[in-house]
Amino acid sequence: MPSDLLTDIRDFLRDTRMGPSYFGKAACGNSELVTRLVKGGRIWPDTEAKVRAFMRQYRSDNRRKAA
């Protein structure tokens, strides 16, 4: 659900120091995504999957760069 997703996004933003607008645009093409979720907005399951895949890929890419 979005509340779990929002927690995961907040953790991701804190860990990566990425801004919420940039995150939304990069993750799914919607710079207002985080703002909408904070306000209680809903998200389609395929969009949530896309956002989660973006976070996984971003972390994976950065781990490889650090190694």
Q: Per residue in 17-64, pLDDT tens?
A: 999 999 999 999 999 999 999 999 999 999 999 999 999 999 999 877
User: Containing domain of residue 58, as a range?
Assistant: 2-66
> What is the model's pLDDT at position 66?
74
Structural domain total, the chain: 1
Residue 3 — pLDDT band, cuts 50, 70, 90?
A: low
Distance CA 26, CA 46 (A): 15
Q: Do 23 and 13 touch, CB atoms closer than 8 A?
A: yes
- Look at the chain and count its residues: 67
What value does the mean pLDDT take over residues 5-25? 97
The whole-model pTM stands at 0.88
Distance CA 44, CA 27 (A): 14
Residue 35 tokens read as 């703002």
